[in-house]
Amino acid sequence: VKEEGKNSFQFFKQEMNDSVSRKSRLATGLRKGLEQGEFFLQYQPQIDIKTERIIGVEALIRWEHPEWGIVSPADFIPVAEETGIIVQLGEYVLHTACRQNKAWQDAGLPPFRVAVNISARQFSQSNLAATVSQALDQSGLDPKYLELELTESIIQGASSAVTAMKELKSMGLHLSIDDFGTGYSSLSYLKLFPIDTLKIDQYFTRNIQADTKDAALVDTIIRMAHNLELNVIAEGVETDEQLAFLRQRHCDQAQGYYFNKPLLPADIERLYRLPVDA
Ligand code: C2E
Ligand code: CA
Ligand code: CA
Ligand code: CA
């Protein structure tokens, strides 16, 4: 966020290149950060390509440490996973995202979904369904406005994963597969899992223009999704050309810097609040 944050983050990286002490300091920092309220969420709009209207936002966690500044989720999520702190962190994200989305609806924004990232450990270890239903109850958010983004890595425990996903689906939530195509899993899970949406990873989107094979893959993923009656969203859309390609191939939705970076709640409200007497 701030320039100062950037510098202290560089410092933090150099200081912590010993991986064991780095991990334990991060773990301590994470626990303390949860107590001290150092975490917050940003929300990135997801746009319907045909209508160019917002259909949802993805909640992305942010951590501003008092000395280290902004620490990237790419750096702390893996440590949170390894240490199990992800369970508490995930509860914070679910509760905050549900409460925020209900607040937007109460403030008169057009209703859209909020998508929450669920890591593999969070999915397999915590009582996710209970946490989700608590977050829904306490916020008053209609379950159809909550989406969970799962990655292919949850497939490891295939049969129990299907049971858990069915339970979540029966609550009325929307389920998506994040980073689709980057795991090493077989495609057969697509017919077993009760999912609604495939998210095309930004790695593929990025190379649509430069690499004809990536373009062919994106085209194929979109067709496959539609043949399976799944919705498909492309992430990491940054350019006109990428959007034009996706539109031509009938990709349903897009998310990326071309539309918006992840935003604070007040900015989402400014962008999408309807005129009072429209
Ligand atoms: P992800 O779920 O694949 O999230 C998309 C990432 O791409 C986000 O990075 C987002 O800011 C970034 N992004 C969005 N549009 C563009 C674009 O047009 N170009 C480029 N270059 N990047 C774009 P972020 O916020 O740093 O998050 C990184 C990863 O950390 C996420 O990847 C996700 O795996 C994890 N993460 C973030 N928040 C949470 C959370 O609340 N819980 C869990 N379990 N993981 C989270
Ligand atoms: Ca995601
Ligand atoms: Ca993703
Ligand atoms: Ca990713």
Cα-to-centroid distance, 235 and ligand 1 (Å): 10
Mean pLDDT in residue range 49-53: 96
The confidence score (pLDDT) of residue 182 equals 87
The confidence score (pLDDT) of residue 124 equals 85
Higher-confidence residue of 271 and 159: namely 271
Could you report the per-residue pLDDT of 148-188, keeping only the tens digit for each? 999 988 876 667 888 999 999 999 999 999 999 888 777 88
Mean pLDDT in residue range 22-44: 96
The confidence score (pLDDT) of residue 19 equals 76
Tokens standing for residue 45: 């709009």
Residues counted in the chain: 278
275 pLDDT above the threshold of 90:
no
Greatest alpha-carbon span in the chain:
59
Share of the chain above pLDDT 90, in %: 77
Q: Is 262 in the pocket of ligand 1 (CB under 6 A)?
A: yes
Cα-to-centroid distance, 58 and ligand 1 (Å): 9
60 phi, psi to nearest 5 deg: -125, 125
Cα-to-centroid distance, 224 and ligand 2 (Å): 20
Cα-to-centroid distance, 201 and ligand 4 (Å): 6
Pocket probe mutation, ligand 1, options 34, 114, 117, max atoms within 8 Å of Cβ? 117
Could you report the per-residue pLDDT of 200-247, keeping only the tens digit for each? 999 999 999 989 999 999 999 999 999 999 999 999 999 999 999 999
Contact partners, residue 67, CB within 8 Å, separation at least 6: 8, 12
Of 72, 74, 67, 73, give the one whose Cα is nearest residue 36: 67
- Give, using CA atoms, the residue closest to atom 44 of ligand 1: 119
- Give, using CA atoms, the residue closest to atom 46 of ligand 1: 117
Q: How many helices (H) and strands (E) does the chain have?
A: 12, 9
Mean pLDDT in residue range 141-153: 95
Higher-confidence residue of 20 and 123: namely 123
In this prediction, residue 1 has a pLDDT band, given cuts at 50, 70 and 90, of: very low
Q: Is 114 in the pocket of ligand 1 (CB under 6 A)?
A: no
Decide if 176 contacts 208 (C-beta within 8 A). no
3-state secondary structure of 193: coil
Decide if 21 contacts 2 (C-beta within 8 A). no
- Give, using CA atoms, the residue closest to atom 37 of ligand 1: 60
The confidence score (pLDDT) of residue 183 equals 80
Tally of CB atoms within 10 A around 33: 21
pTM of the full predicted structure? 0.93
Q: Is 80 in the pocket of ligand 1 (CB under 6 A)?
A: no
Q: Which atom of ligand 1 is nearest to the CA of 73?
A: 30
69 phi, psi to nearest 5 deg: 80, -150
Task: Report residue 160 CA to chain centroid gap.
Answer: 23
The confidence score (pLDDT) of residue 125 equals 78
Tokens standing for residue 251: 């990709």
Higher-confidence residue of 2 and 85: namely 85
